[in-house]
Structures are given as structure tokens and as C-alpha cells.
Amino acid sequence: MSTATETVKKEPSEALFSKKRLKLITDPLNDSNPVTVQVLGICSALAITVQLKPSVIMFVGVFFVVVMGNLVVSLLRNVIPNRVRIIAQLVIVAGLVSIVDMTLKAVQYDISKQLSVFVGLIITNCIVMGRLEAFAMGNKPWPSILDGVGNAVGYGVILVIVAFFRELFGSGKLYGFQVIPQSFYEMGYVNNGFMMMPPMALVIVGIIIWVQRARNQKLIEAQE
């Protein structure tokens, strides 16, 4: 886990989407992906990726919490006392998660039932606290938002890829719709029950990491 504070140099008239700032979004998608490179947030990646729908909703939830958390903490970074900064971050994150939870219960009740405890577990998602501590505490609001977007999307992409394979091979569906035709089943095709089990998510994440390392030379050097 990287705890070193990354800083963006002060440049008063920097464009909103300058190269350096865009890098904040693109980096977590590949070079510093929170799941496959930093191996954070694995627990939720295993638990809720049986189907695409809860994965997408979880991504939306984490997106909201990371981006808003980064923004709020960044705004408060100069008034948060150093000695209680972790607990202050926790209060902010917990508050945001409660907001997500209450909103889901009111608007998307079925999904909130399906996600059940995992919404509450966004609080313990290491990515959230990791970004607050490593980035938002030391950077201005706008770069913090970009960093939040990048990391949340980096997390969401992996979630969706894993869920895609698990739902497709585990239940023959994608986003709840049957994609493997009935005639296949009649010919003897069976859904892979193992795909429904959490360990399979770990295997898929492992394969993603493998593919990513094979393609991205930077990551290989970083390992040696």
C-alpha cells in the first residue's frame, strides 16, 4: 500500500484537464490500478461480482463515496488537525456511505437488499481511505476529484470484467438477461457452478493481473 503523499505542483493557471491532471484519471486505470496493482478493495471484488448489476451499483456507490470523500477531505485538509485526521476521514466516509445506503433503500430497494452488508462495507474499502490519506489530504479539491474519479473507475472496470465472466459462465446471463440460448442447455451445456463461488473471482482477478503484467512492461520492471 502506498502511503506516500503524492503532490501536484502549484500552477495557478493550469488547464482543468491538463496532461498532468488527466494522468490522475488514466493512471489508476492501468499503471496504478487499485485492484490489480495495489491489490486494494479485493474483498468486495470477490463478494459482489456474481452478477453484473450489483457490481455496477457497487461501482456507482464507491464512485460517489471516493469522489465526494476526496473533495470534502481536500476542502478541509487545512483545518483537519493532524492528530485526529484518520478518525475525521472515517466520519466523513461513514457519513457518505450512510447517504448511499439510505438513497439505495429508497430508490433501488431490491438492489439494496442484494448488496445488503456490502454497502456498509464501502467504509472499510481500503481504496476509499487510501485515496483520502494518500491524495486528498495533500492536494487541492479539483485534482482530488480527478484522482477519485480515476480510482473509482479503475476499481469499477475490474469489478465489471470479473462480474461479466462470472455471470456469463455461472448463470448464462448478462445483466440479468439470458444470453446463452436454451438450445445449448438442451444439448447438454451446464452452467459452471464454481463461477458462483467467491474463489473463482480471485482466480479471474489473478488472470486479469497476469494479462495486465504481460502487456504492461512498466509493471514488470516495478516488480524486479
Residues engaged in binding another protein (CB under 8 A): 79-84, 87-88, 91-92, 94-95, 98-99, 102-103, 105-107, 109-110, 116-117
**Which residue, 32 or 89, is less far from another protein as judged by CB?**
89
Shortest distance in whole angstroms from residue 102 CB to another protein: 4
Query: What pairs with residue 178 in β-bridges?
Result: 173
Burial annotation 50-72 (CB, 10 A radius, 16+ → b, else e): bbbbbbbbbbbbbbbbbbbbbbb
**Which residue, 146 or 163, is less far from another protein as judged by CB?**
163
Residue 49 to residue 78: CA distance in whole angstroms: 38
Determine the angle formed by the axes of helices 19-26 and 141-171, rounding to 10 degrees: 30
Shortest distance in whole angstroms from residue 189 CB to another protein: 21
First to last CA, the chain: 17
**Which residue, 13 or 78, is less far from another protein as judged by CB?**
78
Shortest distance in whole angstroms from residue 81 CB to another protein: 5
Shortest distance in whole angstroms from residue 34 CB to another protein: 25
Reading the block at residue 105, the C-alpha cell is 433503500
Residue 56 to residue 223: CA distance in whole angstroms: 31
**Which residue, 16 or 177, is less far from another protein as judged by CB?**
177
- Are 90 and 125 within 8 A, CB to CB? no
Reading the block at residue 161, the C-alpha cell is 470484467
Residue 79 to residue 73: CA distance in whole angstroms: 10
**Which residue, 98 or 178, is less far from another protein as judged by CB?**
98
